[in-house]
Structure 1
Amino acid sequence: MSELLRFEDWSDPVPAAEREVVSQLPDDDRGRPPLLFVPGLGHGAWAFAEHWIGHAAGRGFPAHAVNPRPGGDLRAQAHDVVQTAASLPRQAVLIGHGTGSRVVARALGRYPARAAVLIAPVLDGWAALGAALRSNPAGTVPALFGGRLTFSGRQLFGPDLPAEEAAAHLERIGARPRAELFSRDTLPEPVGGPPTLVVGSPDDRVVPRQALDRAAARYGGAPLLFPGMGHYLMLETSWAEPIDAILDWLDKELPPAG
């Protein structure tokens, strides 16, 4: 599959675009691999910059988040992730959220990541669409006809997040999804077989628990679950729990040099 992707890039190259990257480096570089966060539909690097990027840098990880190019399809977004990762001084850990996990899964077919983390991954567009229609039909149906996908706080966040914080985030979240997001994707095998962790919540109203199990099984493991949280784990009141668990897992899988 990775060879087919390379041929497509040669015969029909992805148009050049300026890549916007938000970064924060640790005060003491201890040789840990850089983290590259990849946002999904409806949000950008800001969602990771809110808490996780600074927290990861504070624990010694160079942390970066790439903004998706405006109007870019999944292939273009995966291209941007590969190019951004290749520009970093060390092999990166790719961390995707939502449909950003699908972008990461595609990028893993071309980039030999040190590791990968898929957070609340939307790998099966049909399953996510079904969940969205059940939890928020009024906000989802217009997107089926080219309109805007409108989320609700109940759909995206757990009950512990104050209503005013949820409302502030919702003002920044929303998009017109491309039709390809509602399809099932044939994902490539990861180059080099990097360790891959799936993280999510059994109470996520966007990604059903069964989808988390299937995603984790695809990469040879079980999902790491955070009950009581919503789809946007990085914006919840207890946002530190999942990122600390991810960083602990990376420290175990990829011990710091020296």
Structure 2
Amino acid sequence: MTTRAPSATTRVMRSDEWSSPPKPVRREVLTEQPTSSSAIASSSSSASDDRPPVLFVPGYGHGAWAFAQHWLEHTAGRGFPAAAMSLRGHGGSGPDPDARLRDYVHDVTQVAAGLPKQAILVGHGTGALVVAMALARYPARAGVLVAPVFGGLATALGLLRRNPAGTLPGLFGGHVSLRSTQLFSRSLPASAAQSFAARLQRVPAGAQRQLIRRQEPEPPVGTPPVLVAGSPDDRVVSASALEWVARRYGGSPLLFPGMGHDLMLDARWQEPIDAILDWLEKPA
């Protein structure tokens, strides 16, 4: 791991979180542990035992199921303890129709703090934004931002151009709906793409509205290495947006041409997770 986030002063006191803390909710967390065979396959069993847990954070509309489909088990098979959580109002976590970004960040930091070792945070889509914000509160071992959605007018206009019927309601407080063709490449069978897209859940209007303005998270606590990964053919996140986020963390994005936005569910799902795990295995 060589890419590191720039160091800067991070706020310690956040008065709004003291005066109006996020309400407690039930949090869904799915886990997979390395098997004895994965430990043997690593350089040594003790090295495998020392590996930090990887916490996967899905984006808006997605739940822990999106990582449980492929990446969770595959990560454990590579010797890393793996967990995938659902943000409040998603998957099997408790509902919160008034949720905002700060509530999701609270969920991530609480789950990460409950893991037995300092964790690696991996976020996808808006989950990558939540992870970037959580890095300013939780001293992660490393961060990985996959197809990061940091919001902004350019993102909104891009979605509006590609999917006007599904995007326009979101500009007026309604529900944004993404088509399967926006999320996946043509390599994924249409039946699988439509099945995954049908599982996407409604996002609270307040959390959606926050993405109209580009979010710029505070610098991470310490100097954890941060990797940005995505596809230049993503129909949700532009190539220029990937570059912009990567530059914020002092690097260039790791690109997977020909893949869609949901890299963890697309036909070539193994390529990005193996590249991410290879990066994590490199000496700091």
Question: In the TM superposition, what are the counterparts of 1:145-160 in structure 2 within 5 Å?
Answer: 145-160=172-187
> Which of residues 220, 225, 231 in structure 2 aligns to 1:190?
220
Distance in 2 between the 1:127 and 1:119 partners? 19
Distance in 2 between the 1:171 and 1:5 partners? 41
What residue number does 2:273 align with?
Answer: 243
The structural deviation recorded for 1:117 is 0.2
**Contact 1:151–1:174 (Cα < 8 Å) also in 2:** no
Distance in 2 between the 1:85 and 1:105 partners? 13
What residue number does 1:52 align with?
Answer: 71
Question: In the TM superposition, what are the counterparts of 1:161-200 in structure 2 within 5 Å?
Answer: 161-176=188-203, 177=205, 178-200=208-230
Distance in 1 between the 2:72 and 2:178 partners? 24
TM-score by length of 1: 0.94
What residue number does 1:215 align with?
Answer: 245
Gaps in structure 2 of 5+ consecutive residues: 1-8, 37-47, 90-96
Distance in 1 between the 2:12 and 2:222 partners? 17
The structural deviation recorded for 1:2 is 4.0
The structural deviation recorded for 1:6 is 3.4
1:197-237: CA deviation from partner (whole Å, max 9, x where unpaired): 00000000100000000000000000000000000000011
The 10-residue stretch of structure 1 (123-132 or 236-245) with the greater mean CA deviation from structure 2: 123-132
The structural deviation recorded for 1:7 is 3.0
Identity %: 55
Distance in 2 between the 1:64 and 1:119 partners? 16
1:18-56: CA deviation from partner (whole Å, max 9, x where unpaired): 211111111245211101111111111100000000000
The structural deviation recorded for 1:137 is 0.8
1:129-167: CA deviation from partner (whole Å, max 9, x where unpaired): 122111111111112222222211221111111111111
What SS does the corresponding residue of 1:23 show, helix, strand or coil? strand
2:108 corresponds to 1:68: no
TM-score by length of 2: 0.86
What SS does the corresponding residue of 2:272 show, helix, strand or coil? helix
What residue number does 1:227 align with?
Answer: 257
The 10-residue stretch of structure 1 (122-131 or 109-118) with the greater mean CA deviation from structure 2: 122-131
Gaps in structure 1 of 5+ consecutive residues: none
Runs of 4+ in 1 over 4 A off after TM superposition: none
> Which of residues 225, 231, 234 in structure 2 aligns to 1:204?
234
**Contact 1:56–1:62 (Cα < 8 Å) also in 2:** yes
Question: In the TM superposition, what are the counterparts of 1:73-84 in structure 2 within 5 Å?
Answer: 73-84=100-111
Higher relative contact order (CA 8 A, sep 6+): 2
**Contact 2:150–2:216 (Cα < 8 Å) also in 1:** no
Distance in 1 between the 2:134 and 2:237 partners? 21
Distance in 2 between the 1:81 and 1:166 partners? 27
Distance in 2 between the 1:166 and 1:208 partners? 21
What residue number does 1:19 align with?
Answer: 27
Q: Give RMSD over aligned pairs.
A: 1.5
1:103-128: CA deviation from partner (whole Å, max 9, x where unpaired): 01110111110000000001133232
What residue number does 2:118 align with?
Answer: 91
The structural deviation recorded for 1:12 is 2.0
Number of residues of Structure 1 aligned to a counterpart in Structure 2: 254
1:182-210: CA deviation from partner (whole Å, max 9, x where unpaired): 22223111001100000000000100000
